């Protein structure tokens, strides 16, 4: 039975996942430039391939923006080849890094300058789509935004909230006012880790601790 997707439900899901799984410490990176690279490279591939590309980039540049920008397109493409779509991704990396370099990598300055229009500005960068823009907002610009990626969409489909596209799910979800950007980061990490283990099928999900807890708390929510 479909129900309205409430902030209370989001809070319940977050609290259950956090209690059962503990903090995930996402995004898996040591610096914001590394997060940016990972967010671009992970498009249309798995993290195992991304990790290989990141190791190449670490050896070549230690993720220093100036060194990344000094790489030729051919050199950058070769380094990130394991992630696939390396021509497009190399162009996106250069575009994003050049844009950030224009503002001296001052994330606070960028946030102040663009305000509520920051997401729209990010989407104007070649190669940056909805999910990548939201990852940047949450993990680079420290804003509480819901990332409606594949695992999140699959979860909410199983819960009775169908969303065919990224935008459709994101429009349904409003994070609670008390959510900080740290909560948004943690929620994304928890959903992805949960998805890897429990969202391979509806039957598997229905056996999960999350499904069982939601049934007892919300009453036949799924």
pLDDT in tens, 164-203: 899 999 888 989 999 999 999 999 999 999 999 999 999 9
Structure tokens at 75: 């050199």
Task: Please check whether residue 1 lies inside any domain of the structure.
Answer: no
Predicted local distance difference test score (pLDDT) of residue 87? 97
Based on the fold, state whether residues 104 and 68 are members of the same structural domain.
yes
pLDDT in tens, 106-153: 999 999 999 999 999 999 999 999 999 999 999 999 999 999 999 999
Task: Please check whether residue 118 lies inside any domain of the structure.
Answer: yes
pLDDT in tens, 8-22: 899 999 999 999 999
Task: Please check whether residue 220 lies inside any domain of the structure.
Answer: no
Task: Please check whether residue 95 lies inside any domain of the structure.
Answer: yes
Based on the fold, state whether residues 46 and 135 are members of the same structural domain.
yes
Task: Please check whether residue 221 lies inside any domain of the structure.
Answer: no
Q: Is residue 183 exposed (0-12), middle (13-18) or buried (19+ Cβ within 10 Å)? A: middle
Range(s) of the domain holding residue 103: 32-139
DSSP H helices, the chain, are 7-21, 32-41, 47-61, 65-70, 73-79, 86-102, 107-114, 118-123, 130-139, 150-158, 166-172, 181-198, 202-206, 209-214
Q: Of 139, 164, 197, which residue sits at a domain end?
A: 139
* Confidence check: pLDDT of 3 > 80: no
* Confidence check: pLDDT of 2 > 60: no
Based on the fold, state whether residues 39 and 130 are members of the same structural domain.
yes
Report helix, strand or coil for 141.
coil
Q: How confident is the model at residue 220 (pLDDT cuts 50, 70, 90)?
A: very low
Based on the fold, state whether residues 51 and 134 are members of the same structural domain.
yes
Based on the fold, state whether residues 116 and 159 are members of the same structural domain.
no
Give how many domains the chain has, as a whole number.
2
């Amino acid at each position: 039975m479909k129900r309205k997707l409430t902030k209370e439900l989001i809070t319940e899901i977050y609290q259950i996942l956090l209690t059962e799984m503990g903090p995930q410490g996402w995004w898996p990176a040591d610096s914001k430039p590394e997060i940016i690279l990972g967010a671009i490279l992970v498009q249309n591939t798995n993290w195992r391939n991304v990790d290989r590309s990141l190791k190449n980039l670490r050896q070549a540049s230690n993720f220093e923006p100036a060194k990344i920008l000094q790489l030729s397109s051919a050199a950058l493409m070769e380094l990130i080849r394991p992630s696939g779509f390396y021509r497009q991704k190399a162009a996106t990396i250069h575009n994003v890094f050049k844009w950030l370099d224009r503002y001296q990598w001052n994330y606070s300055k960028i946030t102040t300058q663009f305000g509520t229009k920051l997401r729209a500005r990010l989407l104007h960068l070649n190669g940056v789509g909805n999910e990548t823009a939201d990852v940047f907002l949450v993990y680079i610009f420290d804003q509480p935004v819901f990332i409606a990626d594949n695992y999140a969409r699959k979860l909410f489909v199983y819960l009775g909230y169908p969303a065919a596209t990224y935008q459709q799910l994101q429009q349904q979800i409003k994070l609670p006012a008390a959510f900080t950007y740290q909560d948004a980061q943690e929620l994304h990490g928890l959903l992805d880790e949960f998805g890897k283990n429990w969202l391979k099928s509806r039957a598997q999900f229905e056996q999960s601790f999350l499904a069982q807890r939601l049934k007892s708390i919300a009453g036949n929510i799924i």
